[in-house]
Structure 1
Amino acid sequence: MPDKASAWGDLSARLISAVVMLAVVALALMSGSLGWSLFVLAVTLVMFWELAALCEPGIATVRRISLTFAPLLLPAALAVALTGGLGVPPPQEAETGLMAGRVLAGAAAGLGLAVLAGVVNLRSGRWIWAGYAPMVLIGALFLVYALREFGVVGVAILVAIVAISDILGYFAGRLLGGPKFWPRVSPKKTWSGTVAGWIGAGLFGALVFAGQGAALPGAAAAIGLAFAGQMGDIAESAIKRRAGVKDASALIPGHGGFLDRLDALVAAAALAGILTFIHLVWIA
């Protein structure tokens, strides 16, 4: 039976870091679209800095910096796509279709360039970069888009789904214990905690969308996003295990790095972004 003190030893650090991060995120959200976009970009750059070292432990500083700024290729490609490459707006009668096509082309080009930068620049962990970097970028894009389209409430709902899943998973896993979800990759994650996260997220989703007569779809979507977040957490654990490190970095005092705290959120946001894009294409 695990020692109770060790089982709850990281609780205070989790609570403190959660309060601080929520305060910072709240300030960024209240600063408007530009402030939020710059905040998301800054956090994405930090996560890329951490990811580069996880892919290739001991990577040279110059190459690590070049990979850190790879995400800037995405907004640059989008800017070119949105202006048609020459700063000329599309014809009015075809504006919607052309704009959607240009956004898609720019996003694909930016994602491709960012992935290519890692594949060419890294000496190891290239496929990790190729898989994880696009997820981070898509998640970041959706978080920027979500504030513009759904407002602060929309972003808060996504964050709440991930937070509820994580919090309930943490407490249920330590209180109930039981079989491990994927012991080779994440020794601490249990099935009891995983399922508790799904239940909590599902109930929250049902409650949020009950007023719109969409309690069941809301619950299903929330469970899907919670599961995506859990898989993002497990994927980052696997990457750290390969690199032989406990944390992605030490940027958050006593509690690891930004990837450690945001792995679940970016994974859930990436899934939300993909589903939103499919929905927009479907109704177009």
Structure 2
Amino acid sequence: MTQPAGQWDDLTTRLASAAVLGAVGLGLVWLGGIWFHIFVALACGIMIWELARMLGGGPEATWLALAAGAALFVAGEIPGGFALPLLVAPALFGLGRLEKNRTIYALYTVMIMLAGYGLMILRDDFGFIWLLWLVCIVMVADVMGYFAGRFIGGPKFWPKVSPKKTWSGTVAGWIGAA
């Protein structure tokens, strides 16, 4: 099967960014503690910023992201029993700041916050190896999805959110994760 010439144009950029981000991420996972908490809070804040912008948040997206990142960081530094209100607060904050798609924003924000907090707990309580194992599973799923999607192609999975993602790549990613 012959592949179109431009189909692999982004591979070099993807590999270079993966190498840089992988080295930084691996270093922060290895360091753990406050450095890893800052990294996770920043990453989750960026995710919430992107979510709010996709849902039409406009300038509110920045404030929502900053509030979420700060709340997640503080939640990671206090005893676990007190963390839940901080993890839910950015979702509630967004309900009052967004004009539309509030429920979607609130649900996804809670999921992002809980996932970020879970990563902090996983690293703090179970150590470097368990988090590295999780990162490797995600990497395998991503790589398998990318190459299967490029080689097999097929119908798009969710064109409005990820225009190039195909069903074949999605299923291959699931198989890789399993």
In 2: Cα distance, 1:77 partner to 1:25 partner: 21
Which runs of structure 1 show a deviation greater than 4 angstroms over 4 or more consecutive aligned residues?
74-80, 182-187
**Alignment match of 2:64 (pick from 42, 67, 76):** 67
Q: Cα 1:107–1:18, aligned 2, differ >3 Å: closer, same or farther?
A: same
**Counterpart residue number, 1:189:** 165
* Corresponding residue SS for 1:42: helix
Q: Cα 1:7–1:127, aligned 2, differ >3 Å: closer, same or farther?
A: farther
Q: Deviations over 1:40-73 (max 9, x none)?
A: 122222333333322225x23xx44431222233
In 2: Cα distance, 1:182 partner to 1:68 partner: 24
CA contact 1:75–1:110 (8 Å) conserved in 2: no
Identity value in percent: 41
How large is the RMSD of aligned CA atoms in angstroms?
2.8
Larger Rg: 1
TM-score (norm 1): 0.54
In 1: Cα distance, 2:125 partner to 2:112 partner: 20
Q: Cα 1:140–1:171, aligned 2, differ >3 Å: closer, same or farther?
A: same
Q: Cα 1:124–1:158, aligned 2, differ >3 Å: closer, same or farther?
A: same
Q: Is residue 138 of structure 1 aligned with residue 114 of structure 2?
A: yes
**Counterpart residue number, 1:14:** 14
Q: Is residue 167 of structure 1 aligned with residue 143 of structure 2?
A: yes
**Counterpart residue number, 1:178:** 154
**Counterpart residue number, 2:100:** 124
TM-score (norm 2): 0.82
Query: 1:79, CA displacement in angstroms?
Result: 6.8
Q: Which runs of 5+ in 2 are unaligned?
A: none
In 1: Cα distance, 2:160 partner to 2:73 partner: 37
* Corresponding residue SS for 2:127: helix
**Counterpart residue number, 1:114:** 90
Q: Which runs of 5+ in 1 are unaligned?
A: 83-101, 203-284
Q: Cα 1:22–1:121, aligned 2, differ >3 Å: closer, same or farther?
A: same
CA contact 1:119–1:130 (8 Å) conserved in 2: yes
Alignment size in residue pairs: 177
Of 117-126 and 42-51, deviating more is: 42-51
Counterparts of residues 198-217 of structure 1 (less than 5 Å): 198-202=174-178
In 1: Cα distance, 2:75 partner to 2:25 partner: 27
Query: 1:120, CA displacement in angstroms?
Result: 0.3
**Counterpart residue number, 1:240:** none
Query: 1:180, CA displacement in angstroms?
Result: 3.9
